[in-house]
Amino acid sequence: MSIEYALFDTALGTSAVAWSDRGIVRTFLPESDAQATRARLGRRLPDARETEPPEHVRRLIGDVVRLLGGDRVSLEWVSIDDAAVPELDRRVYAAARTIPPGSTLTYGDIARLIGDATLARRVGEALGRNPFPIVVPCHRVLAAGGRTGGFSARGGTETKMQLLRIEGAVLL
């Protein structure tokens, strides 16, 4: 399977998206600069090659740029290639993708949505492995009691909160 990628600029810095003929394989939030974003992508997808994106990827890039610029944009339309993702993680990601911009759920809410309220910790672990940040909006999932919970992107929970502020989320 051939994987291609493109870097693109957003209000937060240079992001990246990688795709195959089956859909989006991975997205990358900005690192400290474009070179660092490209290097991280190279570590995760060493055989990927940089190229001009096809139309559906250009649409995704435009929507991500708009979303990170403050527009309320849904990315539910995006086809992801999650064949290599464990079944539980796929279910978690599908549930998280239903959270609209500006809204949040808790790890426990997601666990209930996938049918087992006892899985809140495993939901958090799955979101920590999320290969599709922004497309699978793991930043919209908080810990119980309005606590931030974790976030594995550069900047950690500060970046998570910045993304929620950009989307206009009301936090208690």
Q: Give catalytic residue positions.
A: 138
For the chain, how big is the Rg over CA atoms in Å? 15
Q: What's the average model confidence in pLDDT over 21-47?
A: 95
**In the prediction, which pLDDT does 159 show?**
80
Task: Give 50-73 pLDDT, tens digit per residue.
Answer: 999 999 999 999 999 999 999 999
pTM of the predicted structure, to 2 decimals: 0.91
**In the prediction, which pLDDT does 154 show?**
75
Helix (H, G, I), strand (E, B) or coil at 170: coil
**In the prediction, which pLDDT does 5 show?**
98
Task: Please tell me the distance from the alpha carbon of residue 29 to that of residue 25, in angstroms, as a whole number.
Answer: 14
**In the prediction, which pLDDT does 172 show?**
55
| pLDDT range class, residue 156, cuts 50, 70, 90 | confident
**Residue 61 CB coordination number (10 Å):** 20
Task: Give 62-120 pLDDT, tens digit per residue.
Answer: 999 999 999 999 999 999 999 999 999 999 999 999 999 989 999 999 999 999 999 99
Q: What's the average model confidence in pLDDT over 44-49?
A: 96
